[in-house]
Structure 1
């Protein structure tokens, strides 16, 4: 090999070695956090509005006025909204509105499961809805005594709906909603 070709060959060989020594950049796979939540501890909340209920103490109950409340879960970035309406010969309208609220999510939902709730001893009747998929609210319910009281509850997260990422928190809050429904007492 002549001297004329020897210098560029060394330069190219050294350049290739330097460039090839870098670590390859690979994209990271999508993943979600592994979240662990505390064991629920429940306390009674007396609304002084015709009903009382038990709530998980990691949540904060905030008065919204007119016997409406919200339970904020700062660690879960979620809020449960409780909307109360008195029954005044309008039970059909209240039931229709509660069902309409749930079925507005049908566009984004993979499915909606209805679970009737009946507690004759507490004179409490209603429906619990589980909304699957990327809907804004994964759990909703309504309860009534059919004559005086009507309560609607729904859960919303402070994040773009992504069912896989909110699933652990949604399950945790769903269990709290069931406790709230089962503990609710009309006055």
Structure 2
């Protein structure tokens, strides 16, 4: 009798334990990143160009009219370089395009978006880079006779597209604003 009770209790214990659902890991929570609304100001400098920049960035000029727009809170920067056109437009265009396509090895896709503002003589290209590339956005603009400006967006971290996507989208809007708002101050660079 005693053995029957032990067997019955063991069967009940296995039956109760066998009715539990298999544990399933919870899906990872998505981090919700919110950035302040963009507030733009005109860049003040002695350089032969001007553009709107996000006040969240800290502009720092380096080597003449080259500058870095540093977004410390977002751990990213937009690097802007200026070169005068001196019968070298083809080389400048080739270098800018080559720089953008050096990321094709790591990029999933590179979207080219031409920009033309004939009234203010601003012509160029905006590159949106998707994937684990070092730079998520690049651009160049020129008046095709005197001025040539290039820019690149970089983050201070190893590229992981999923992690930096919210910040990349936010800063790509700032890069587009630079392209759309750039104006030349003089015909000849100083």
Q: Give me the TM-score of the superposition, normalised by structure 1.
A: 0.83
Q: Distance in 1 between matches of 2:29 and 2:80?
A: 33
Contact 1:32/1:165 (8 A) holds in 2: no
| Secondary structure of the structure 1 residue equivalent to 2:51 | strand
**Secondary structure, counterpart of 1:39 in structure 2:** coil
Inter-partner Cα distance in structure 1 for 2:45 and 2:94: 25
Q: Count residues with an aligned counterpart.
A: 163
Give the gaps of 5 or more residues in structure 1.
1-25
Q: Which residue of 1 aligns with 2:140?
A: 142
Match of 2:67 in 1: 69
Structure 1 residue aligned with 2:53: 55
Of the candidates 104, 107, 119, which is equivalent to residue 105 of structure 2? 107
Q: 1:45 aligns with which of 33, 43, 46?
A: 43
Task: Please list the CA deviations of residues 95-128 of structure 1 after superposition, one character each: whole Å capped at 9, or x if unmatched.
Answer: 0000011100000000111000000111000000
Q: Which residue of 1 aligns with 2:19?
A: none
- 2 CA distance for matches of 1:113 and 1:86? 27
Other structure's SS at 2:38 match = coil
Q: 2:92 matched to 1:94?
A: yes
After TM superposition, the structure 1 = structure 2 runs for residues 116-135 of structure 1, keeping only pairs within 5 Å, are: 116-135=114-133
Unpaired segments of 5 or more residues in structure 2?
A: 1-23, 186-190
1-structure distance, mates of 2:29, 2:153: 24
Counterpart position of 2:176: 178
CA root-mean-square deviation: 1.6
Q: Structure 2 CA distance, aligned partners of 1:156 and 1:177?
A: 11
Listed one character per residue, the Cα deviations across residues 153-182 of structure 1 (whole Å, up to 9, x for unaligned) are 000001110101100000000001111111
Give deviations 1:23-74, integer Å, cap 9, x for gaps: xxx9886555311000110000033110001000000000112210000001
